[in-house]
């Protein structure tokens, strides 16, 4: 085993991956915002996790309370302009006839 690499057993008991779905607009805006600071998504999300787990950071506690409130009242989360544009594109595409190969009858 090379120096600095963890074996499969160590990874199994020490690490866990997180996968989340976001809209295309959210992903693009998040990535752009982080790029402005020279940061990557992984390092920012890791920092958020550490701050949430700390428990002594009032701002993060307030954010979690807002998340609970949003969950309880089932707020629609589409709020980025790109999300709205993508929804309109989907609606337009669904109205177009399917299977149009360009042939005339």
pLDDT tens across 19-74, in order?
999 988 899 999 999 999 999 999 999 999 999 999 888 999 999 998 888 888 87
pLDDT band of 105, cuts 50, 70, 90: very low
CA gap 45, 30 in Å, rounded: 11
CA gap 17, 35 in Å, rounded: 23
């Amino acid at each position: 085993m090379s120096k600095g690499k963890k074996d499969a057993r160590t990874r199994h008991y020490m690490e866990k991956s997180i996968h989340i779905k976001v809209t295309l607009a959210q992903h693009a805006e998040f990535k752009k915002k982080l790029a402005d600071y020279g940061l990557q998504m992984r390092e920012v999300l890791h920092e958020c996790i550490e701050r949430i787990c700390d428990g002594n950071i009032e701002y993060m506690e307030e954010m979690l309370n807002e998340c609970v409130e949003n969950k309880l009242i089932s707020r629609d989360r589409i709020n980025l302009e790109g999300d709205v544009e993508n929804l309109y594109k989907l609606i337009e595409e669904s109205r177009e006839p399917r299977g149009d190969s360009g042939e005339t009858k």
